């Protein structure tokens, strides 16, 4: 017991890292399952980055649709990133984070377009931002925001 109390900061560090790893990878797996499934469901709704032009009589409605999401890093990912800061190279632990955020944002945008009855989203744009001023500072956990927006087009039948 004494040794645990003597190295209390080390214990906290280990607990956080293990918790971050187990909870983080569980949440990530779950999220990816949901992303894959919803992407399959919404695959018929086309998203393009091109501006697109349609004859006016074919268009019933056009509206801005957007989807945004904020995903937090966990302690384990941060630990890997700190170690990467020393040696350099790809911060692989953050890759999946940004990937999840972008795909989730596109999915949310598509879901809102589907509610409007749109059949295509044109001019789609993606943006990423860090949340919180302390996102890159010591002893604080940062998070990533991704926002996707575009023009949803509802066609005349």
Partner 1 sequence: MKFTPIQLEGNVNVSKSHPLIELLWLLGGLVLLTGLVFFILGVTADWAVSKTPIKIENWIGQLALNEFPAEDNPALEQRLQALLDSLPEDSALHQYDFQIFLSDTEDVNAIALPGGNIVVFSGLLELMESENELSMVLAHELGHFAHRDHLRRLGRGLGVAVAATLLFGEESAASNLISKTLLTFQEKYSQDQESAADQFGLALLTRSYGHAGGATDFFSRLEEDAGSKLPYILASHPHPQDRIDALNEQIKKKHYSIAKIQPLSLEL
Q: Is 89 helix (H, G, I), strand (E, B) or coil?
A: coil
Q: State the minimum distance, in angstroms, from the CB of residue 7 to partner 1.
A: 7
State which residue, 97 or 147, has the beta carbon closest to partner 1: 97
Q: Is 143 in the site for partner 1 (CB under 8 A)?
A: no
CB of 145 to partner 1, least distance (A): 17
Residue pointed to by tokens 């900061």: 9
- Alpha carbon distances (Å) from 19 to 64, 78, 91: 40, 13, 20
Pair 65, 112: CB distance under 8 Å = yes
Name the residues that contact partner 1, by CB under 8 A. 2-3, 6-7, 21, 25, 36, 39-40, 43-44, 46, 76-77, 79-80, 82-87, 90, 92-93, 95-96, 98-99, 138-139
């Amino acid at each position: 017991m004494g040794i645990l109390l003597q190295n209390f900061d080390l214990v906290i560090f280990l607990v956080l890292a293990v918790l971050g790893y187990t909870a983080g990878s569980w949440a990530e797996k779950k999220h990816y399952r949901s992303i894959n499934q919803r992407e399959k469901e919404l695959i018929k709704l086309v998203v393009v980055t091109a501006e697109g032009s349609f004859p006016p009589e074919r268009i019933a409605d056009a509206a801005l649709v957007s989807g945004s999401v904020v995903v937090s890093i966990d302690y384990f990912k941060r630990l890997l990133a700190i170690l990467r800061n020393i040696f350099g190279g790809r911060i692989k632990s953050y890759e999946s984070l940004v990937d999840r955020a972008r795909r989730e944002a596109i999915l949310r945008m598509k879901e809102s377009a589907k509610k409007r009855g749109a059949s295509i989203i044109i001019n789609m744009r993606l943006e990423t931002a860090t949340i919180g001023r302390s996102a890159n500072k010591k002893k604080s956990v940062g998070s990533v925001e991704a926002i996707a927006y575009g023009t949803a087009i509802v066609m005349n039948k």
